[in-house]
Amino acid sequence: MALLIYGAVLVLAALAESTVGYRLDALGGGRVNLVLVLVAAWSLVRGAQDGLAGGLIGGLALDLMSGTPFGLHTVLLGLVGWGTATGGGTLERGGLALLFGTAVLTTVAYHGVTVLVLRVLGWDFPGLMRFVNVLVPTIFLNALFMPFAAAFARRLDRALSSWRRLELE
């Protein structure tokens, strides 16, 4: 039940990221990667299996709305969801340092691998400086948004857990 509800949140986030997100040009080209941040936060709250499933759902939603090769976002966000929980631990142990570090590392890995895969497939890019000029503000915005995403994921997890306890009683 929790994954179904969070999957709907990820689909809405992908829709917002694909429509409104690309119209906003904050801080010189950087944009919040809503789905990436929500997948990483969900993974930290729920663990590797739910993180992987959330990444696959969010990535599939982005793949359906983007012009990149189909499956790229699904694979990358699935790996982010699984890897964040595997390498990062849980929110109870890490606090803000874990959230900011996770946002920075996942953003760099996600965008770096995306560019490498698209370059291998023959896509052209403006250059390294343009990539860095977009990546740095994106890292900042994702790190800024990460505590809010984690609080949302934690609150939703608690609400759904208490719901389940009421169903069992």
- 140 vs 16: CA distance, rounded Å: 19
Tokens representing 146?
């990460």
Residues, the chain: 169
Mean per-residue pLDDT over the chain, rounded: 87
> Domains in the chain and their CATH numbers?
2-168 (1.10.1760)
Residue 125 pLDDT grade (very low, low, confident, very high; cuts 50, 70, 90) = confident
pTM of the model: 0.89
> How confident is the model over 113-124, as a mean pLDDT?
92
Share of the chain above pLDDT 70, in %: 86
Phi then psi for 26, rounded to 5 degrees?
-80, 140
Residue 23 pLDDT grade (very low, low, confident, very high; cuts 50, 70, 90) = low
> How confident is the model over 70-84, as a mean pLDDT?
95
Amino acid at 42: W
- pLDDT tens-digit series, residues 83-94: 988 865 555 566
CA-nearest of 104, 126, 134 to 28 is 134
Lowest mean pLDDT across 67-76, 141-150, 154-163 = 154-163
Compute the Cα dihedral for 28, 72, 33, 12 and give only its sign. Answer: positive
> How confident is the model over 114-128, as a mean pLDDT?
89
Alpha carbon separation from 71 to 57, 131, 137, 155 (Å, rounded): 11, 22, 26, 30
- pLDDT tens-digit series, residues 94-113: 688 889 999 999 999 999 99
pLDDT above 90 for 4: no
> How confident is the model over 136-154, as a mean pLDDT?
94
